[in-house]
Amino acid sequence: MRHIVLIGMMGCGKTTCGKLLSARLGRPLLDTDRAIEQAEGCSISELFARRGEEYFRDRETGLVRALARREEGLILATGGGLPLREENRALLRASGVVFFLRRPPEVIFDAANLSDRPLAQQGREDFLRRYRAREPVYRAAAHEIVDNTGTPEEAAERILRRLEQYHI
Ligand code: S3P
């Protein structure tokens, strides 16, 4: 186990917390959405529109396979749908400590700017339904569940404390 992996619903604060952890631990942060955007040369929204969700999910799985082989311990901020594939979950769990960053979906929908998330464009009820379907998957994929209901700094502190029990 080398990587520190953040999973959770889109807009729950994975990237923000990941940046704080990266600064505290001196480990590089890799955001899977940004890595795919760079490799594809377009935004996630454009990729969904041009190639469809399955294509994007295949890119995610390809990236997770490559990351699982990386020797260096990274902080991984993952796309919200990435843990939905069983292969991705297994690879993440085998290559790092997986933290489910939990933030109530109502809070996310009302407070976060989700305009660049193609799967958050169907309104509040759809978003809440999607979250309810995903939450058991996030729980099953995670070694640790951490609340992000206060500030990102508090969530990062919680993660750092939980990390003390792992030898990574
Ligand atoms: C998605 C979440 C997004 C991005 C894509 C799909 C999802 O990432 O991968 O829009 O299915 O939840 P964030 O969790 O970083 O927003």
Atom of ligand 1 nearest to the CA of 117: 10
What's the pLDDT score for residue 125?
A: 97
Going from the Cα of 80 to the center of ligand 1, the distance in angstroms, rounded, reads 4
What's the pLDDT score for residue 167?
A: 82
Going from the Cα of 8 to the center of ligand 1, the distance in angstroms, rounded, reads 9
Q: Which of 19, 85, 119 to mutate to test the pocket of ligand 1 (most atoms within 8 A of CB)?
A: 119
Average pLDDT per run of 10 along the chain, which is 168 residues long?
Answer: 94 97 97 98 98 98 97 97 98 97 97 95 97 98 97 97 92
8 Ramachandran zone, left/alpha/beta (phi>0; psi -120 to 50): left
Buried b (16+ CB within 10 A) or exposed e, 44-77: beebbeeeeeeebbebbeebbeebbeeeeebbbb
pTM score of the predicted model:
0.97
What's the pLDDT score for residue 155?
A: 98
Atom of ligand 1 nearest to the CA of 130: 12
